[in-house]
Amino acid sequence: MRNFYQAGRSVTYGLNGAIATSNVHASQAGLGILKAGGNAMDAAIAACAVQCVVDPMQTGIGGDCFTLVARNGEGAVEGLNGSGRAPMALTADYLRAQGFDKMLPTSVHSVTIPGAIDAWTRLHETYGRMDFADILAPAIDYAENGFPVTQRTSVDWEMGVAKLQKNEAASKLFLKDGKAPKAGSVWRLPELAATLKAIAKTGRAAFYEGPLAEQMVESLRAAGGLHEAKDFAATNANYVTPIHADYAGHRVHQIPPNGQGITALIMLNILSRLGLDGLDPNGSMRLHLEAEAARLAYLARNKYVADPEQADVPVEMLLSDKFADHLCGFIEKGKAGDPTGANALESHRDTIYLTVVDKDRNAVSFINSLYQGFGSGIACPNTGVIFQNRGFGFVIDPDHPNCVAPGKRPLHTIIPGMVTKDGKAAMSYGVMGGGYQPVGHAHVLTNIWNYGMDVQEAIDCPRAFYNAGVLEVEQGISPSVRAELAAMGYKLAATAMPLGGGQIIAVDPETGVLSAGSESRKDGCALAY
């Protein structure tokens, strides 16, 4: 339990349902859906749709979506991969001929086809209870009639101004006189409202076929893209069997590759062998062991993770005891390891994660993203859609399994998490923050299981991220601990912004009480009833 003399948040408790998101407008919308008779998936889609309006730099309908679901809180965890694909005309040979030696974050060639709306409609068909139009109604209202911009959103919006100014449509949609809105100001997105109304009326077809799709293709081709109407029409989210690892008597579930969730599982497999119990959770040795686990797990990710439909991804080997034992052999307690090839993805912290548990104990772990802030920065003016830059996760090396190719899905950073114990859902959780996410997952879970923190303490706890040979540390890490880490050989840097953001809902197996947390690094909250 937290120290009530210090600033912080208490755990939110409920019996009938709970929702935790990174924006208060979204949490309120989702709770309203639950109270109106909707289930966890209805509430999750409604909340996500709201965030696509009120957090437009973090997420949008021009992005992708992954989910994990535990029906009635028991049975097999089910996953959906809603990541979009590269245009069928895009090849590595074409990019090299155009002078590219790597993917660029604001290039139109980094725009993969948006998978989110296809994923939402598929999830609603499988799990939903309420009418889809009623689910989207709160988001449409915010887009049409306006919403007050929250504090963290205003900061993130301001960080995207330079990108938005490079695209006429994006600038018109998201800036006024070339400036981002201030906290507390009201913003409207009427073009996006009209698009959401069309989706509410006719579903998936409104987005991927007909006039809206034609307009989006026109915008992308005007920017030099190779996208075609048939790429949009062929978009197809697919259900997948989650992968898992066991830790402290619990089973942790993740979406399989092309997602990077396997990285979190590799980290947990390593950490389970390193004896974290008894260490200071904010001390140098705990952070050192976590950084080493991250270093080795990310090296494996960067080498192997790709679209399994077009590459051989050795999932069984990567999750094996033999591989974990092998990696542990490269860790020295008290000495930083060789950073060669450590996480090469650029830092990006622009994603929304939310989770919902309803009265029937359906648990939904839900994540939606444009990748980097405002994605590619390329927008379609009449639809209000800004396109993701997920293709930035590809490489152009023809010998690498993650090389860009027609219809291929890139290495994907967004990862929802689900924990079961004895076959029942124990926790639905996620940590935002792009490349940081696997570290965030491991950090939060070990905070709970090794150090006895509650769900709110676990996500509020100070963080560090071993990234490209540099250990980034938040302000909550003491100067003495930083000095000890430097003495171990780490190159340290202060984080430019807080690392990620997270939400958790835990289910007490004895009482049925829901414990929900939403951290203060973002503008959200956990609500329950």
Q: For residue range 131-170, list pLDDT tens digits in order.
A: 999 999 999 999 999 999 999 999 999 999 999 999 999 9
131 is written with which tokens?
Answer: 């009418």
What would the 3-class secondary structure string for 479-517 be?
HHHHHHHHHCCCEEEECCCCCCEEEEEEECCCCCCEEEE
The one catalytic residue among 91, 351, 383, 446: 351
Rounded CA separation 266/263 (Å)? 5
| H or E element at residue 455 | helix 455-460
CB atoms within 10 A of CB 186: 10
Q: What is the pTM of this model?
A: 0.96
Whether residue 269 has pLDDT greater than 80: yes
pLDDT (average), residues 401-414: 97
Q: Is the dihedral of CA 411, 350, 47, 508 positive or negative?
A: positive
Q: What percent of the chain has pLDDT over 70?
A: 98
Q: Note the pLDDT of residue 350.
A: 65
Whether residue 120 has pLDDT greater than 60: yes
Q: Note the pLDDT of residue 386.
A: 98
Our answer to whether residue 195 is catalytic in this structure is no
Q: Single out the residue of 496, 492, 379, 390 nearest to residue 434, CA to CA.
A: 390
Whether residue 348 has pLDDT greater than 70: no
Whether residue 130 has pLDDT greater than 80: yes
Q: Single out the residue of 118, 82, 125, 87 nearest to residue 207, CA to CA.
A: 118
Tell me if residue 321 falls in helix, strand or coil.
helix
Contact between residue 18 and residue 356 where contact means Cβ atoms under 8 Å apart: yes
- Tell me the pLDDT band of 346, cut-offs 50, 70 and 90: very low
- Tell me the pLDDT band of 186, cut-offs 50, 70 and 90: very high
Rounded CA separation 230/88 (Å)? 9
CB atoms within 10 A of CB 15: 12
Give me the residue label for tokens 């998101």. Answer: 21
Q: For residue range 424-434, list pLDDT tens digits in order.
A: 999 999 999 88
Q: Note the pLDDT of residue 434.
A: 85
Residues 6 or more apart whose CB falls under 8 angstroms from that of 297 comprise: 263, 264, 266, 267, 270, 327, 438
pLDDT (average), residues 169-198: 97
Rounded CA separation 506/429 (Å)? 8
Q: Note the pLDDT of residue 349.
A: 52
pLDDT (average), residues 449-475: 94
- Tell me the pLDDT band of 468, cut-offs 50, 70 and 90: confident
- Tell me the pLDDT band of 8, cut-offs 50, 70 and 90: confident
Q: Please provide the average confidence, as pLDDT, over all residues in the chain.
A: 95
pLDDT (average), residues 188-192: 98
pLDDT (average), residues 19-32: 97
What would the 3-class secondary structure string for 218-278 be?
HHHHHCCCCCCHHHHHCCCCEEECCEEEEECCEEEEECCCCECHHHHHHHHHHHCCCCCCC
CB atoms within 10 A of CB 309: 12
pLDDT (average), residues 92-110: 97
